[in-house]
Homo-oligomer: A and B are copies of this chain.
Amino acid sequence: MSEPTVGDVADWWGTAVSRIAPNVIELRGRPVQDLIGSTSFAGVIWLMLRGDTPTPGQERLLEAALVSSVDHGPHAPSIAVARMAATCGVGLNNAVATGVNLLGDVHGGAGEQCVALLAEIADGAEPQEVVARWRARSKYLPGFGHRFHTVDPRRDPLLTLVDQAAADGVVDGSYLRAARAVEQLIAPVPINIDGCTAVVYGELGFPPPLARGLFVLSRSVGILAHAWEESGQGRRNKGPMPPTILPTQIGDA
């Protein structure tokens, strides 16, 4: 083995995402000064994750999907833990990180799994066969069904946007057709928000794990807004129940 060199260290940290040099910042090869003022935040999200820039039609779909999943209230564990963290004497960034940390396979992974499921159908597999195979693995079909909503208010606007984008040739519509085939097959279980955003991300060509990645960016907004609101309310060490419920009342598991 030859002696290690400083170049080995630099290679170890090599990246195609950005290049930083004195007075130079390039994101995916573009000088940052060319992006500021001309590119939207959503456009830069696309650029950073994929290396190119979206067309206006693609960007419109991405914005819509990012907007749709920012929040689902304090019943969502990611939101609740961020609010609790904000009362414990940590930084606002730590409160956000606490919430994001919970967007795991069960809480944040449904979109990722649903892109993978729809991809199988978009690639030519029979919906019935695909649904049967996924259901054999888990009773939860990712992207379908919801505890609260029989018709999720985000469903129609998102799917309509994809419909239009397919008509305009922005996307090819294969994920939308796949999702509708599944929805018909398992009626009356409806497509949910993870399913709708999976349609968008799949149509746009994002690989499944980035469906979770994009959900993280979107939900971070709600997590931050809730942590910020809570931090202004003066509570300390907020538990899941108000102090009026005595610990003695907690049942034995």
Copies in the complex: 4
A167 in contact (CB, < 8 A): no
A137 in contact (CB, < 8 A): no
| Contact mask for chain A residues 24-64; partner B; CB cutoff 8 A; 1 contact, 0 none | 11010001110111011110110011000000000010011
Closest 9 CB pairs of A and B: A89-B105, A89-B106, A14-B251, A90-B104, A89-B104, A240-B240, A88-B107, A4-B244, A97-B101
Chain A interfacial residues counted at CB < 8 A: 128
A10-B101 contact given A80-B240, A89-B106, CB 8 Å threshold: no
Interface residues of A in 216-236 (CB under 8 A from B): 216-218, 220-222, 224-226, 228-229, 231, 233, 236
When C-beta atoms are compared, the residue in chain B nearest to A240 turns out to be B240
Asked if residues B10 and A245 are in contact (CB atoms below 8 Å), the reply is yes
Complex: A250 Cα to B161 Cα, angstroms: 32
Q: A-side interface residues toward B, CB under 8 Å? A: 1, 3-25, 27, 31-33, 35-37, 39-42, 44-45, 48-49, 60, 63-64, 66-68, 70-78, 80-81, 84-85, 87-94, 96-98, 100-109, 140, 147-154, 156-158, 160-161, 209-210, 212-213, 216-218, 220-222, 224-226, 228-229, 231, 233, 236-253
Q: Which residues on B sit within 8 Å (CB–CB) of A147? A: 243
